[in-house]
């Protein structure tokens, strides 16, 4: 794949633009002239946006502008691609999309249906092999994908930068990133802002939404705030992992207590034996004391070996209707193609990524950093309470065939999340839905806190139900949760 073929994409502009943003930076530059060695680095590198390429993506169904770049932060450098909305859609709103993991790259959704051009089974894994996506989000909104946290995908840190390894601190880095984006493109300050993520994004996304709100509130009290005050209008969570306890007992239920069973009796018995100890440890962390040591200790009974998690199951854990897959990069048809395309010289040049990242991994160094801190032994969903009270809507959707982050776990924490909608959510029983977009269930339709369950879909709903997720985006930028009823 390394030989370069003529590509239908042409560069509209390839110049590198470096923009300094903040008045604080200008101030620091003044200091820099006084104390050059101490401040020079800070002055030129913190909270700046570097455009690495403005491209035209055309896979046969019209032109699409994509702006690639880095936001340089104190602790590292976050890579993004801004897929501009088609025609009038560029005025509709901004959807910020990142992935789970933690530490998985954001570049799956844009190339499996959410962006204007997608990979095709059996097609070529290159820019010129992409075909028009039938239901791109860019028809209704601007799509900003960001490799978050630092160390995911094309994002990186140098040896003198120390990025966050836990989702609370990483949320501050995300907030700094978002401030730079909102200042660079002021039109997004006035448009609806949607936070879209999946899987572990339920945890990192909860921290992000709460950090943005907290910092907004702090800035309101400041005499001369430099901050752009902007709240998320909606959070869109796909198969979200937002509460370790709910997920772990829901996993046992789905794998060992529901047909078809995912494990044999031996594994299910071990799993069950560990459950009480695991939940006790998690409750202590949640209710009494949360330290790295306690989280690591909880992992022993709570987290099974990779072989038990991925090799032993009798079906594809990301979609139990599909055959068993191991190693896990074989669980998605597009994974190998995406990896090959991302690592091609053509793609590196098109994105303008730095030589600091030698190789693009679907799950990169950030995953190990977060795992070493046992960041996933927590209950982040509670952070959403003030966010929902402040008026942000929550739409969670879940593929019913997923056993990694089962629908049952999501119902469980949504049923406990204090917010103005909780009463109606709890009293709304799951309604069966069958429409042009999907078959499944919905809880609390037509409200600001809704959960949708999708039959036939697994962990990545976008892959099988692109028309449905596009409709969710269309409604989100119009100011409401998608209502399937």
Ligand X SMILES: *[C@@H]1O[C@H](CO)[C@@H](O)[C@H](O)[C@H]1NC(C)=O
Instruction: Report how far residue 253's alpha carbon sits from residue 408's, in angstroms, rounded to the nearest whole number.
Output: 9
CB of 295 to ligand X, least distance (A): 18
The region, left, alpha or beta by phi > 0 then psi within -120 to 50, assigned to residue 105 is: beta
Nearer to ligand X by C-beta: 150 or 242?
A: 150
CB of 265 to ligand X, least distance (A): 6
CB of 327 to ligand X, least distance (A): 15
**Of 200, 18, 17, which Cα lies nearest the Cα of 103?**
200
Nearer to ligand X by C-beta: 153 or 163?
A: 163
CB of 212 to ligand X, least distance (A): 24
Nearer to ligand X by C-beta: 159 or 427?
A: 159
- Note the residues at the interface with ligand X (CB under 6 A): 157-159, 162-163, 264, 266-267, 312
Nearer to ligand X by C-beta: 162 or 277?
A: 162
Alpha-helical runs (H) found in 186-331 = 187-190, 201-220, 244-256, 265-287, 292-302, 306
Residue with the two structure tokens 């190789």: 359
Nearer to ligand X by C-beta: 161 or 189?
A: 161
Lookup: tokens for 67? 């702006």
Nearer to ligand X by C-beta: 233 or 373?
A: 373
CB of 219 to ligand X, least distance (A): 29
Query: Within the chain, what is the greatest distance between any pair of CA atoms?
Result: 71
Nearer to ligand X by C-beta: 110 or 163?
A: 163
Lookup: tokens for 3? 């030989």
Contact 89, 478 (CB under 8 A): no
CA 369 to chain CA centroid, nearest Å? 17
**131-132 vs 393-399, strand pairing mode:** unpaired
Nearer to ligand X by C-beta: 101 or 163?
A: 163
Contact 114, 143 (CB under 8 A): yes
3-state secondary structure of 229: coil
CB of 75 to ligand X, least distance (A): 8
Q: Phi then psi for 294, rounded to 5 degrees?
A: -65, -40
CB of 144 to ligand X, least distance (A): 24
CB of 404 to ligand X, least distance (A): 18
**Of 207, 259, 269, which Cα lies nearest the Cα of 232?**
207
CB of 47 to ligand X, least distance (A): 19
3-state secondary structure of 431: strand
Instruction: Report how far residue 152's alpha carbon sits from residue 366's, in angstroms, rounded to the nearest whole number.
Output: 6
Sign of the dihedral defined by the CA atoms of residues 301, 305, 306, 309, in that order: negative
CA 372 to chain CA centroid, nearest Å? 20
All residues at 6 or more sequence positions from 327 whose CB lies less than 8 Å from its CB, including other chains: 310
Nearer to ligand X by C-beta: 125 or 313?
A: 313
CA 70 to chain CA centroid, nearest Å? 17
């Amino acid at each position: 794949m390394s030989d370069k073929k003529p590509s239908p994409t042409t560069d509209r502009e390839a110049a590198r633009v470096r923009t300094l943003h903040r008045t604080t930076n200008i101030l620091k530059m003044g200091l820099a002239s006084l104390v050059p060695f101490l401040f020079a680095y800070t002055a030129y590198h913190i909270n700046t946006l570097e455009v690495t390429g403005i491209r035209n993506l055309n896979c046969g169904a019209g032109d699409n502008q994509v702006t690639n770049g880095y936001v340089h932060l104190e602790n590292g450098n976050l890579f993004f691609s801004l897929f501009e909305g088609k025609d009038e859609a560029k005025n509709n709103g901004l959807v910020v999309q990142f992935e789970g993991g933690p530490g998985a790259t954001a570049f799956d959704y844009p190339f499996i249906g959410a962006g204007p051009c997608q990979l095709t089974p059996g097609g070529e894994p290159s820019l010129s092999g992409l075909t028009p996506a039938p239901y791109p989000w860019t028809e209704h909104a601007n799509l900003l994908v960001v490799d978050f946290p630092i160390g995911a995908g094309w994002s990186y840190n140098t040896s003198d930068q120390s990025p966050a390894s836990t989702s609370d601190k990483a949320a501050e880095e995300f907030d700094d990133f978002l401030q730079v984006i909102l200042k660079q493109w002021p039109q997004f300050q006035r448009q609806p802002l949607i936070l879209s993520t999946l899987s572990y994004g339920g945890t990192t996304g909860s921290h992000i939404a709460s950090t943005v709100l907290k910092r907004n509130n702090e800035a309101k009290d400041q005499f001369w705030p430099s901050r752009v005050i902007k709240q998320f209008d909606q959070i869109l969570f796909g198969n979200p992992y937002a509460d370790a306890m709910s997920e772990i007992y829901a996993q046992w239920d789905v794998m060992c207590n529901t047909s078809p069973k995912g494990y044999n009796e031996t594994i299910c018995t071990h799993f069950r034996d560990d459950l009480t100890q695991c939940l006790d440890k998690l409750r202590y962390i949640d209710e009494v004391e949360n330290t790295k040591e306690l989280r690591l200790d909880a992992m022993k009974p709570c987290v099974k070996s990779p072989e038990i998690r991925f090799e032993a199951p009798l079906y594809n854990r990301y979609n139990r209707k599909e055959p068993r897959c191991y190693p896990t990069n074989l669980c998605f048809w597009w994974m190998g193609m995406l990896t090959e395309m991302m690592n091609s010289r053509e793609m590196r040049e098109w994105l303008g990524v730095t030589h600091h990242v030698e190789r693009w991994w679907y799950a990169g160094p950030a995953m190990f950093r977060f795992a070493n801190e046992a960041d996933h032994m927590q209950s982040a969903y509670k952070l959403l309470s003030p966010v929902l009270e402040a008026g942000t809507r929550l739409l969670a959707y879940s593929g019913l065939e997923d056993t990694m982050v089962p629908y049952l776990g999501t119902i469980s924490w949504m049923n406990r999340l204090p917010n103005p909608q909780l009463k109606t959510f709890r009293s709304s029983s799951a309604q069966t839905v069958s429409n042009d977009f999907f078959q499944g269930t919905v809880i609390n339709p037509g409200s600001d806190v809704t959960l949708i369950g999708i039959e036939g879909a697994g962990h990545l709903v976008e892959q099988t139900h692109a028309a449905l997720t596009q409709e969710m985006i269309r409604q989100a930028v119009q100011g409401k949760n998608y209502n399937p009823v």
